[in-house]
Structure 1
Amino acid sequence: MVNSSSTFQVNTTQAPLTLGKTFDVIRWSFVALIIVGFCFFILFIAIMLHIFCITPLLRENARYLLFFYMLVNDTFYLLITFFLLLVVLFLFYLPIPICFLLYAISSILFKVTPYNLAVMALERYMAICYPLHRALLCTTNRANVAYSLTWMLLIVIHGAELVLMFSSATNLYIYAICKHDSLLVNPIQNIIRTFSFTLCFGSVGIVIIFTYVKIMLVAHKVKSQSSTASKAGRTVMLHAFQLLLCMSSLLSTLVDTLLPKRIDYMPITYFFFFTCVPRFLTPIIYGIRDEELRRHIKKSLTKYFH
């Protein structure tokens, strides 16, 4: 009986240790997978940015300029969110103001991409429905202005949340893990965040639907499936697909709420599938589909790998 009891105690002691080692292996495997995927993503972006810098035709086109803004934006978003994920996984404490700053920047970067897609859809709409005015309206300067205004709008929204935090909290200069709950000191913050997300994805969805319907009406009048209008319509639908990919990141919050808390390796799992994979796919799909970009990508790949 004594030997049996001792064996049982040893087994029950070793089981959590073995389970903990398994979780560590899974966690580090996903970290390595994300890092490898991110390296390929960075390589692709480096190629695209090189193409953009050496090709005047692309630099002078508002649509391609917005596309490259999206690439750079998503790169910084993945960097910051991956850092925040590691902070949570390894229980690294940071001052609350720094946590909020990192959260605000990642949230702004997250919302800039949908607005960027809306502006790209509007560019296609102007090019097809008002071709005579395109040269005047769809310029790189206007694209820069639209991108800057997007940042200004989101900075104002998060600035209001920051003011609310400092006015509501008694002590913000403490160390905490950078989680969503750690930054909530006033219920109004949830209202601001809900309004921000609703405004972002609601307005972008309306713009994409509106531009697609208008472009398809022009394509129907032309009655040619190979027309420029039909191609523009498919481009706008691609933007809608990209918007859905962006929205998939919101699923991580839902999954985090529903999954049992004991599954401690799951956060990095759905971070990979809901945040990284969509942003890895979006530029690749867009870059391969666009004839001009595809031609330059093939040229660059042939130059570097032969």
Structure 2
Amino acid sequence: MSYVTQFRTNITGELQYQSLLERVILSTVTTVPCCVFLFINGTMLFSLRSKPVFRETSRYILLYNLLFADTVQLVHSQVMYILAACRIMLTYPVCGVLTMIANLTTVISPLTLVVMSLERYVAVCYPLRHATIITIRNTGVAITVVWAFSSLNVLTQVLLLLNFPFEELQSLQMKDFCSYTAMIFRPVSDHYNKAYTCFVFVSVCVVITSSYIGVMVAARSASTDKASAHKARNTLLLHLLQLVLSLSSNIYNPIFTALSRTVSRIVFVRMQNVFYVCIVIFPRCLSSLIYGIRDQTIRPVLMHHLCCGLKLSVAPVKA
């Protein structure tokens, strides 16, 4: 899952060619929206723990897990960007830890989308069994499996990394900016990462698409709640959109590689900064915007906290 990290590194690796003023301006342009999105995500996370209805409903628990992973990714991305902008070189052990944290949380987001899609599928196709299948206990088990699967990937990458003879290095101090690419010492690590990334995203896409088709088929049944099926269909489409945004960094890497050969270096860096905000930062806040605005239960609580407790013309949610 190194594509977001690699994409970010392509940006930060070119900052050394910019003037101090331009680096400050571009860093501010990326940091300000990042702080805004962090405030929204943090408020959403707080809102999801503020009412028993959120803490005791499976889909809100899953949403909390998704938001938590996205928020950690958002913080990690911006910290790495600032370190590179300030030209701070890390040691290999510190960089390795930061890289593994990024890989862990990056995998959790699409896997959580799978569980959320299956929950909507069960709610529409098996409404009478939904309460017995989608329980708090089963939700906790699903989240544990998601984290365990992601941790297994990180463990495999660590084992591949430890296979490198670090004692042959003159110093553990890195000579380049910290990134997943800088931590790849053997081709097998790169091959494994690409294969794992393709496997995860293809599997997630198949599950979400299958859930969407299942909901569409169920919506034509006379016994199905049309409003519920329509809402579930829209939710699954949004999950697909979130998945596409997660994959967007994979799509743009080859484009940027070709673009680097046709435009000047400084123009290339400026374009990358724009895409960094649109591709890396914005998708990490998308879940908060989607669910905070669409969900009638979350909206009044979220707006209340975003406005720091000011009274709004929305009905309060009963605890």
Which bracket does the TM-score occupy, shorter chain normalised? 0.7 to 0.9
Deviations 1:111-152 (A, max 9, x none): 211111111000001111112221122122222222222222
- 1:8 corresponding residue in structure 2: none
- Deviation of 1:267 (Å): 4.3
C-alpha distance after superposition, 1:229-275 (max 9, x if no partner): 12111111111111112222334533553343833455433321210
Q: Does 1:119 align with 2:115?
A: yes
Distance 1:170 1:300 in 2: 49
Alpha carbons 1:248, 1:274 under 8 Å: kept: yes
Q: Is residue 2:286 matched to residue 1:281?
A: yes
CA distance in 2, matches of 1:57, 1:214: 28
2:50 is aligned with 1:54: yes
Match of 1:135 in 2: 131
Larger of the two Rg values belongs to structure: 1
The number of equivalent residue pairs is: 287
What is the distance in 1 between the residues matched to 2:53 and 2:198? 36
Report the residue type matching 1:139 in the other structure.
T
Alpha-carbon distance in 1 for matches of 2:274, 2:237: 29
Runs of at least 5 residues in structure 2 that lack an aligned partner in the other structure: 1-15, 312-319
Q: Is the 8 A contact 1:215 1:232 kept in 2?
A: yes
1:1-306 to structure 2, matched below 5 A, reads 23-171=19-167, 174-176=172-174, 177-222=177-222, 226-251=226-251, 253-260=253-260, 262-263=265-266, 264-301=269-306, 304-306=309-311
Q: Is the 8 A contact 1:288 1:294 kept in 2?
A: yes
Whole-angstrom CA distance in 2 between matches of 1:49 and 1:155: 23
Counterpart code for 1:78 = L
In structure 1, give the amino acid aligned to 2:217: L
Correspondence for 1:15: none
Q: CA deviation at 1:299?
A: 4.4
Instruction: Tell me the secondary structure at the aligned position of residue 297 of structure 2.
Output: helix
Q: Is the 8 A contact 1:115 1:204 kept in 2?
A: yes
Q: Secondary structure at the match of 2:48?
A: helix
Q: Deviations over 1:79-118 (max 9, x none)?
A: 1121222333333211112212111111221121111111
- Find the aligned partners of 1:61 and 1:212 in 2 and give their Cα distance: 22
The TM-score, its normalising length taken from structure 2, stands at 0.81
Q: Tell me if structure 1 keeps the 8 A contact 2:124–2:228.
A: yes
Distance 1:60 1:271, change over 3 A: same
Contact 1:252-1:274 at 8 Å conserved across structures: no
| Aligned 8 A contact 2:304 2:310 in 1 | no
Change (3 A) 1:101 1:255: farther
Q: Distance in 1 between the 2:36 and 2:82 partners?
A: 20
The offset of 1:167, in angstroms, is 1.6
The one of the two structures with greater contact order (alpha-carbon pairs below 8 A, sep at least 6) is 2
In structure 2, the CA distance between the partners of 1:26 and 1:270, relative to structure 1 (3 Å rule), is farther
C-alpha RMSD of matched pairs (Å): 2.5
TM-score (norm 1): 0.84
Name the amino acid aligned to 1:262.
R
Q: Cα 1:47–1:164, aligned 2, differ >3 Å: closer, same or farther?
A: closer
1:224–1:241 Cα change, 3 Å: same
Determine if contact 1:27/1:268 at 8 Å carries over to the other structure.
no
CA distance in 2, matches of 1:22, 1:95: 24
